[in-house]
Amino acid sequence: MRRKLVALTTAVLFTLTGTAACSDDDGDAKAVPTRGGDGTGKVGVILPDTTTSQRWGSDDPKLLKAAFDAAKVPVEIDNAQGNPDTFKTIGDRMIADGVTVLMIVNLDAGSGKYVLDKARSNGVRTIDYDRLTLNGGADYYVSFNNEEVGQLQGKGLVSCLSAEGVKTPRIVYLNGAPTDNNASQYKQGYDSVLGPKFDDGSYLKGPDQSVAGWKREEAVTVFREMFNQTGGRIDGVVAANDTVASAAIEILKERKRNGEVPVTGQDAEVQALQNILTGDQCMTVYKPIKREADAAAKLAIGLFRGDKAVADARVKDTESGAYVPAVLESPIQIMKKDVASVIADGFATSKAVCSGRFAVACTRAGIG
């Protein structure tokens, strides 16, 4: 369901050839010819870090490279390792080295906008991958329906609390990074599910805080303070992703409350799947990254070659007010009964999930 920020349109063809970008160098508004579009140059990809999610260090580089290699399109993939200045430097270098299409996963709006502005002023076509850069003006956006991700988290938590028979549960929010537009969309999603329950008094709203940089250590500190602040009266945790969820679970284990307090997540990381099997985590959201990577690569390849592309959605940039042509994939809710499906899809292996002490839990869940 597309709400507020996401408006589905009928398939719209966007011509990728002959488009000019406007230079903002020194306030000069002269048209800058678009680079490439004829199969020359290369595609550049800038990823954000290797710590906030396993995907950025392993899954996306592998999947994107495979897609570009299959199309025989030259690509350079680099990672900013969590440093906005490094992010800018990589962008500067790739543009100077002749990329004709640039795909970025921003670290924050500031460094992301810097790179997008620099690309536009040099006639480079741009794609925001996974995260929309607010006021960035990217030509395209490829991601998942992020509000739906949040809705699945909210619904999953409700399901787990109902199964436990918890009456008037107190819920706390561990939101994602305040600099990440996705985190805002996730929150809109789970608020749409849980907000009415807070309003009618069937649920109680506890502390609601963001986790800077999606960092696990920050999440540990924030959740420990929440636990102390509430005197341990926490009955459910909306954790914005699996890394944040693992931090909450660590504190719950310290306080002997793990398995009693449902915790959400997303990304379907191996540790999260293990936590779900043992009952320490309520659910996660599986975002089939291969679909997202293939969609982004297809779009970039079209831009590189000067073909036409189809975008069946558009997303509103809440800062600039502009609508960005978008390709949005659908997320999948994963409860204990669904863990095997993530393995069957090839995203995780039974060897990794069922290692060591988790072998018994896998056997009980019918995972061999």
Domain boundaries, the chain: 6-138+288-329, 146-286+335-364
Predicted structure pTM score: 0.85
Helix then strand count (H, E) for the chain reads: 13, 15
Going by CATH, does the domain composed of 146-286+335-364 fall within 3.40.50.2300? yes
**Cα of 74 vs its chain's centroid, Å:** 25
Q: Is there a common fold for 6-138+288-329 and 146-286+335-364?
A: yes
Please tell me the distance from the alpha carbon of residue 206 to that of residue 186, in angstroms, as a whole number.
18
Q: What percent of the chain has pLDDT over 90?
A: 87
The CA-based angle 320-111-145, given to 5 degrees, is 55
Q: What is the pLDDT of residue 24?
A: 42
Q: Which residue intervals of 285-354 are DSSP H helices? A: 289-305, 339-344, 350-353
Q: What percent of the chain has pLDDT over 70?
A: 92
Going by CATH, does the domain composed of 6-138+288-329 fall within 3.40.640.10? no
3-state secondary structure of 174: strand
Query: What residues are paired with 116 via a beta bridge?
Result: none
- pLDDT tens by residue, 85-94: 999 999 999 9
274 is written with which tokens? 């293990």
Residue 27: pLDDT band with limits 50, 70, 90: very low
Residues in the chain: 368
- pLDDT tens by residue, 95-144: 999 999 999 999 999 999 999 999 999 999 999 999 999 999 999 999 99
Report the pLDDT averaged over residues 143-165: 97
Please tell me the distance from the alpha carbon of residue 105 to that of residue 224, in angstroms, as a whole number.
30
- In terms of Cα–Cα distance, which of 172, 109, 171 is closest to 135? 109
Q: What is the pLDDT of residue 56?
A: 95
